[in-house]
Amino acid sequence: MRPGRAPRSIMRPGSHELKNMSLGFDLKPPQAYQRLCEAFSSRGGEPTEFRPHGELTRVLAASRPGGVFLCLGGGAGEMGAWVLGGMDLASRLVVVVQDGDEADKLRPVFDDDLRVTVHVQDAAAFLGDVRDHRFDLITDLSPGQATELSRLALGRLAPGAFYMTRHSPAELTQMLSAQDAAAGTRESALDPNRFVLAHLPGELEVTLIARGPQKFLAKRRGGRRARQEVTPLFSPRPRSARD
């Protein structure tokens, strides 16, 4: 082999390495979603219209390695099947449904995956029980007006986490503006400024909300010193004596 030349096995188009290399993105639905479709088909039905939403949630789940994900309300089982397709081995998924029969039908869909828990409980009651837990992605595609469930879900988001809902930005803004931390409850009012919101129209028609990091009020005293301690990611090259 000539110096500086790649091995022939790498250069040849028919080499073993190229044969085993995928030349495109895997756009197929996850196996759990395929099993869900088969289960619906055997009962004479079909999944809901949430496939575009599922494709988005799979990407969001893949962006949070080791994440903890929660699927509630409408389309919880279908969204869970897509989320599972984006999870790594360290991630965990909780799917909450209100009907025990639905839970029994969903568990075979997830093929007894130890990373997945199918829980039977009212969604709002579940969020009340996990007050000290935080999730990296929460989905709830239930129709109707934004309710207390939405506020509880937003309160369970970890910094940088996502909440996907069919409620409009106006409904969510009104819900957060009218919230009241009632006496006797342990739920504190949420600061709307902590959240970043985007409405995704068209085929999705959902609102995606991200919880930003906690903001600290800067004090004037020592502000210049604090700015001097911040190191830019890419510092300019020091000028040499020759320059």
| 53-105: pLDDT as tens digits | 999 999 999 999 999 999 998 889 999 999 999 999 999 999 999 999 989 98
Residue 89 lies in a domain: yes
Residue 166 lies in a domain: yes
160-204: pLDDT as tens digits: 999 999 999 988 888 887 776 443 456 778 888 889 999 999 889
Cβ pair 163, 213 in contact under 8 A: no
Residue 65 lies in a domain: yes
Q: How long, in residues, is the chain?
A: 243
Residue 42 lies in a domain: no
Output the DSSP codes for the chain: --TT---HHHHSTTSHHHHTS--S---SPPHHHHHHHHHHHHTT----S-HHHHHHHHHHHHTSTT-EEEEESTTHHHHHHHHHHH--TT-EEEEEES-HHHHHHHHHHTTT-TTEEEEES-HHHHHHHTTT--EEEEEE---SS--HHHHHHHHTEEEEEEEEESS-HHHHHHHHHT----TT--PPPP-GGGEEEEEETTTT-EEEEEEPPPP-PPPSTTHHHHHHTPPPSSPPPPPPS--
Q: At what angle do helices 100-109 and 31-42 cross, to 10 degrees?
A: 130
The pLDDT mean for the chain works out to 81
Q: What is the CATH number of the domain that holds 68?
A: 3.40.50.150
Cβ pair 82, 58 in contact under 8 A: yes
Looking at the structure of the chain, the number of domains it has is 1
Residue 94, strand partner residues: 70, 117
Quote the domain boundaries for residue 71: 50-179+192-211
Residue 130 lies in a domain: yes
22-39: pLDDT as tens digits: 566 777 888 898 888 888
